[in-house]
């Protein structure tokens, strides 16, 4: 008698959006958007202003009713059990949403109580989130006196109080200075390490490219591209430029470089060679080996950052929904 090996059920995605449409009167903000985000992923939601990012996030946050389609968070439909969904999400809106007359501790204690965290655990929970967001030394400061970066971190501290599995961050880096952006990025990386699933929206591509495991590009309420960065580059046939300084460069060597498989062009500049590479065909380390194989003595090897702007401009036309 054969014993049946139980097939493990596929894990429930944290976010499952199917054919979501949202209309405000005659205007459609989101049309037929479908999206799935598995657990532990940091999903970057990119699009021009007015593309429908905030609307989608608000539907996930149970603050907006979808016109049609199904939206589930951890298998729970936002329309039928919004209260259950709220326990599993933490939403940071694009505005700070703070009470200026309270201190940081009072602000967090209020939300801890509003999320019905047990009285005995409240102080410890507040202390923990303050430590995580590096606001421990601001515990008695008036919320009004905090900088924009600190207010944003306070907003993240607030949503961590009830330990949700999904974080919805709407333009968290908007209006922050470079230092605050870096601090925020480090905080998000830390949250990612803690296993949180994060959906973060932005219209600035570069800031998401550094920690997002997957991105979705939305325009005029429709998802125009979705996948890992590499997938999108591949889809768009984007190339990466590598700047190489070779001390013994000869015209024959430049010709040899052009013949390497995966290289589309090699342009000789005054002090370097600019090589365009299809990364899906030729990895950076393989290119380095190939150059060494040609006898090149390499002084500098500098791949350019992925050209996210080009990808964005190729995929979008600046349309709003």
Partner 1 sequence: MPKRKFLQRLHLDWPLLGKELREQSARKQMYVVRVIYAVVLFGAFCFYYMRHLAEGPVLVLGRGMGPFNFLVMAQLLTIYLFLPPLMAGALAQEKERDTLGLLFLTDLTPWELILQKFFGRLIPMLTLLFLSLPLLAVAYSLGGVSTAMLYSSAATLFLTCLWVGALALECSAHEATTFQALIRCWGICLLFAIFCSVGPFQFFMFSSRFLMRPTSGFFFAFPIFFNAVVFLVATFLFLARAKYNLETRAFIQRRNPFGHQFKRLDQYWKDLRKLIRAMSRTQDREARALAEQIIRREMGDKRNSSPGKFMLTEMQVPHLLAFAIIFGAILLIALVGSVMLNPKSGGAFNVAVGGLWILALLTVPIQGANTVASERINERLGAILTTPLTAREMLDEWLGPLQRWIQFLVRPLIVLFVVEGIVKLITQEQGEPAFENVILYLVVSLLTVWIYPKFAQWLCLLIGFRIRNQIRALMTSFLLVVAWCIIPIVLSDYLTETGLLPPDWGEWLRFISPVTVIDTAETIGRSVSANSHLALLIFANLGAVGAIAWMIRRNCLANADRYLGRI
**At its nearest, how many Å lie between partner 1 and the CB of residue 34?**
25
**At its nearest, how many Å lie between partner 1 and the CB of residue 152?**
14
Would you tell me how many other CB atoms lie within 10 Å of the CB of residue 67?
Answer: 15
Separation between Cα atoms, residue 127 and residue 48, nearest integer Å: 37
**At its nearest, how many Å lie between partner 1 and the CB of residue 90?**
8
**At its nearest, how many Å lie between partner 1 and the CB of residue 302?**
41
- Structure-block tokens of residue 94: 């694009």
Separation between Cα atoms, residue 94 and residue 61, nearest integer Å: 13
Adjacent-strand bridge partners of 37: 15
Query: Of 112, 149, 114, which Cα lies nearest the Cα of 134?
Result: 149
Residues interacting with partner 1, by CB under 8 A? 58, 61-64, 83, 86-87, 89, 91, 93, 95-99, 101-102, 106, 110-111, 113-116, 118-120, 158
- Cβ atoms of residues 146 and 97 within 8 Å: no
Of the pair 2, 140, the CB lying nearest partner 1 is at 140
User: DSSP letters along 180-208, please?
Assistant: HHHHHHHHHHHHHHTT-EEEEEES-HHHH
Of the pair 88, 310, the CB lying nearest partner 1 is at 88
**At its nearest, how many Å lie between partner 1 and the CB of residue 82?**
9
Of the pair 72, 86, the CB lying nearest partner 1 is at 86
Pairing of strands 15-24, 68-73: antiparallel
**At its nearest, how many Å lie between partner 1 and the CB of residue 107?**
8
Task: Estimate the crossing angle of helix 148-160 against helix 104-114, to 10 degrees.
Answer: 30
**At its nearest, how many Å lie between partner 1 and the CB of residue 86?**
5
Of the pair 118, 285, the CB lying nearest partner 1 is at 118
Rg (CA), the chain: 24
Of the pair 83, 247, the CB lying nearest partner 1 is at 83
Cβ contacts of residue 290 below 8 Å, gap of 6+?
Answer: 260, 282
Of the pair 95, 252, the CB lying nearest partner 1 is at 95
Adjacent-strand bridge partners of 240: 277
Of the pair 315, 320, the CB lying nearest partner 1 is at 320
Separation between Cα atoms, residue 45 and residue 53, nearest integer Å: 7
């Amino acid at each position: 008698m054969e014993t049946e090996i139980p097939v493990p059920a596929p894990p429930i995605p944290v976010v499952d959006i199917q054919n979501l449409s949202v209309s405000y009167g005659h205007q459609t903000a989101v049309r037929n958007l479908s999206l799935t985000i598995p657990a532990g992923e940091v999903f970057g939601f990119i699009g021009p202003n007015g593309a429908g990012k905030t609307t989608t996030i608000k539907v996930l946050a149970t603050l907006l009713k979808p016109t049609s389609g199904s939206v589930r968070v951890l298998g729970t439909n936002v329309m039928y059990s919004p209260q259950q969904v709220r326990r599993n999400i933490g939403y940071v809106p694009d505005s700070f949403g703070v009470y200026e007359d309270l201190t940081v501790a009072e602000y967090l204690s209020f939300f801890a109580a509003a999320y019905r965290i047990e009285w005995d655990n409240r102080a410890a929970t507040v202390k923990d989130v303050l430590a995580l967001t590096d606001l421990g030394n601001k515990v008695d400061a008036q919320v009004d006196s905090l900088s924009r970066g600190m207010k944003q971190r306070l907003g993240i501290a607030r949503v961590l109080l009830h330990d949700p599995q999904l974080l919805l961050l709407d333009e968290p880096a908007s209006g922050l200075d470079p230092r605050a952006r870096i601090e925020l990025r480090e905080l998000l990386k830390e949250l990612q390490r803690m296993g949180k699933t994060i959906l973060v929206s932005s219209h600035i591509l570069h800031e998401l490219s550094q920690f997002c495991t997957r991105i979705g590009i939305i325009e005029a309420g429709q998802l125009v591209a979705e996948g890992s960065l590499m997938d999108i580059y591949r889809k768009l046939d984007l190339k990466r430029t590598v700047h190489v300084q070779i001390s013994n460069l000869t015209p024959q060597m430049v010709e040899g470089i052009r013949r390497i498989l995966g290289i589309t062009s090699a342009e000789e500049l005054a002090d370097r060679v600019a090589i365009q590479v299809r990364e899906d065909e030729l990895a950076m380390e393989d290119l380095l080996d190939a150059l060494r194989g040609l006898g090149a003595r390499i002084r500098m090897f500098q791949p350019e950052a992925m050209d996210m702007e080009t990808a964005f401009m190729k995929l979008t036309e600046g349309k709003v929904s």
